[in-house]
Amino acid sequence: MRIAVFTGASSGMGREFVRRITGEEKFDEVWLIARRRERLEEIAAGVSAKTRILPLDLSDRAAIESYRQMLAKENPEIAVLVNAAGFGLFGTFEKMDLDAQLGIIELNDKALVGMTYASLPYMKAGSRIYQLGSLSSFQPVPYINVYGASKAFVLSFSRALNCELKHDGRGIRVMAVCPGWVKTEFFDHAVHDDTIKYYNRFYTPEQVVERALKDMKRGRDVSVCGVSVRSQVRLTKLLPHKTVMSIWCRQQKK
């Protein structure tokens, strides 16, 4: 059984990955993972392949174990894994709830690692893993502190794992998808005040996923959508991080 697995499938980037990938490829089953069953059912209605709805909270490690048990029972071939589950919070570190900030790490990092680890034994040559990072992956970001750090982990982990898999000859690809601002429900959860004031440009999920699919075919291990965002990434590599943070803080009127 050849399957595709999508986390964070109920909205935003995850939803767009489902739409594009299932619209272009044939699968025996598509596994949709997110917390909200009703939203997953809406997504499933638009997928031509047979779907398996898995309303799991991946910040709970028991959910990863449940996923592992399903894999062991079904023994599928995972052709595509998209790890798009995640969230962030904008604000001053000391003023935000600690449990919520630890939850960012649980979902953005620990769940992503757990899903990847559980899935790899069921992947073959040509299988692909898309890991959702961020422009924040490339620089420290005051006032988006823990979220930015969590996405830096995603970038480092994904690139290193792609290198490991390349050297073991299995033909499995891993790519970090690192967009700038994308207009999704992410902001409904992340924004609680006016701590972040400056947003230079928004992209759409369609633009980001389109670029990601092309970059995967090109053999890249990182996908960055937009000329302006790629220019910013280059600057973060050339300038000291102290300078980059200073520019960011001035933009946010700090």
Query: pLDDT tens across 100-151, in order?
Result: 999 999 999 999 999 999 999 999 999 999 999 999 999 999 999 999 999 9
Give the rounded percent of residues in the chain with a pLDDT score beyond 90.
84
Dihedral of the CA atoms 206, 210, 212, 216 (nearest 10)? 150
In whole angstroms, give the CA distance from residue 116 to residue 102: 20
pLDDT band, residue 15 (cuts 50/70/90): very high
* pLDDT for the residue numbered 202: 87
pLDDT at residue number 192: 62
Burial of 8 (0-12, 13-18, 19+ CB in 10 A): buried
Whole-angstrom CA distances from 243 to 5, 35, 198, 251 are: 40, 39, 17, 12
What phi-psi label fits residue 129: left (phi over 0), alpha (psi between -120 and 50 degrees) or beta?
A: beta
Tell me: pLDDT of 218 over 70: yes
The two tokens of residue 44 are 């499933």
Q: Which pLDDT value is given to residue 14?
A: 95
- The yes-or-no verdict on residue 206 having pLDDT over 90 is yes
What DSSP element (H or E) covers 175?
Answer: strand 173-177
Q: How many CB atoms lie within 10 A of CB 211?
A: 18
Whether 122 is catalytic is: no
- Band of the pLDDT at 183, cuts 50, 70, 90? confident
Residue 191 CB coordination number (10 Å): 14
> Distance (Å, rounded) from C-alpha 13 to C-alpha 132?
8
Judge contact between 223 and 177, C-beta under 8 A. Answer: yes
Specify the pLDDT at position 91.
Answer: 92
**CA triple 183-88-228, angle to 5 deg:** 45
Catalytic residue among 67, 122, 147, 198: 147
Q: What pTM was computed for the model?
A: 0.94
Q: Is the pLDDT of residue 182 over 70?
A: yes
Question: How much is the average pLDDT of 77-103?
Answer: 95
